[in-house]
Amino acid sequence: MTLVTQAIGIDIGGTGIKGGLVDLERGELISDRVKRPTPEGGEPDAIMKVVTSILADLQEAADTAPIGVCFPAVVRDGHTMSAANVSKKWIGLAAERLFEQSLGHDITFVNDADAAGYAESEFGAAKDVDGLVIMTTLGTGIGSAIIYRNLLVPNAELGHIDIGEHADYEKYASNAVREAKDLSWKHWAARLKPYYETLERLFSPDLIIVGGGVSKHADEFLPLIDIATPLVPAVLRNNAGILGAAALAAHGAGARPTKGAEHLVRETNERAPSVSL
Ligand code: BGC
């Protein structure tokens, strides 16, 4: 079996779409990080166009590499089943197939926080953690991934839990809310503390990882969130989605010695009912 050592990862977010060519041995980008803004409204056609243009740039570097794409929605059997921060037109769409048609290439298609969590378990803060890890991404929304002994349990949507009077907690505590309301680090941390306490109470994790672009400022707010579980910044910062999508694409191609989480994502996806958040 040939070992796939490079793959392309594309991370579609509520505000930006970014991609890069990844060295899977080192868990590092080996191309420029190509970034474009997410088109206003997050409509399928507009997003497909941006992804196609990013891929055109990257394929100059590697035209045979597997391609992984991650997206901010529940992804089941290649369909996007929710749309919290993009156009509602994504709900129920056969997105993986549409991307493949538009890109002219097979892809592996997964939730963005799952990709980020997978990357942290392969290359980052959750590597070799023998227990339950919850990865959270603080961005336009709050993304989450559950990883148990390096196996990803896909499509956890823990950003949408209700706490106290706050239904759908990401609308109260995401990084986009911090920016829009110009919250101080202290005030934001006061919103995040009950969130992480709730995850702690519900799941008894061994480690909680905090990712998203804002994790580069982790020193400003993580020490203010005093919980019993170790709470650490993502090692891969804002590249986790790209790295995880690429790694899942390579594992999906069956070219790694150990079975990747993409296998689990597929199996679980096949039997799932639809949800809309
Ligand atoms: C979506 C998740 C996504 C997260 C981060 C949430 O609003 O429901 O699927 O992972 O945002 O982008």
Please tell me the distance from the alpha carbon of residue 119 to that of residue 127, in angstroms, as a whole number. Answer: 9
Q: Does domain 6-114+239-269 have CATH number 3.30.420.40?
A: yes
**What does the buried/exposed string (b/e) look like for 57-80 if buried means 16 or more CB atoms within 10 Å of the residue's CB?**
ebbeebeebbbbbbbbbbbbbbbb
Mutate to test the pocket of ligand 1, among 80, 81, 112 (most ligand atoms within 8 A of CB): 112
| Per-residue model confidence (pLDDT) at position 251 | 82
| Per-residue model confidence (pLDDT) at position 61 | 66
| Per-residue model confidence (pLDDT) at position 254 | 40
| Beta-carbon contacts of residue 243 (< 8 Å; ≥ 6 apart) | 9, 22, 27, 28, 29, 115, 119, 122, 123, 236
Mutate to test the pocket of ligand 1, among 111, 118, 146 (most ligand atoms within 8 A of CB): 111
| Per-residue model confidence (pLDDT) at position 48 | 96
Ligand 1 atom nearest 14 alpha carbon: 12
Identify the CATH class of 127-235. alpha beta
- Which residue's CA lies nearest to atom 4 of ligand 1? 143
Mutate to test the pocket of ligand 1, among 82, 85, 88, 274 (most ligand atoms within 8 A of CB): 85
How far does the centroid of ligand 1 lie from the alpha carbon of residue 2, in Å?
Answer: 34
Q: Is the CB of 174 under 6 A from ligand 1?
A: no
Residue ranges of the chain assigned to CATH 3.30.420.40: 6-114+239-269, 127-235
| Per-residue model confidence (pLDDT) at position 271 | 34
Please tell me the distance from the alpha carbon of residue 193 to that of residue 198, in angstroms, as a whole number. Answer: 9
Provide block-wise average pLDDT over 10 residues at a time, the chain (277 residues).
84 94 95 95 96 90 86 95 94 96 93 96 93 96 94 95 97 98 98 98 98 95 98 94 95 45 39 42
Please tell me the distance from the alpha carbon of residue 241 to that of residue 189, in angstroms, as a whole number. Answer: 24
- Dihedral through CA 73, CA 77, CA 79, CA 84, nearest 10? -20
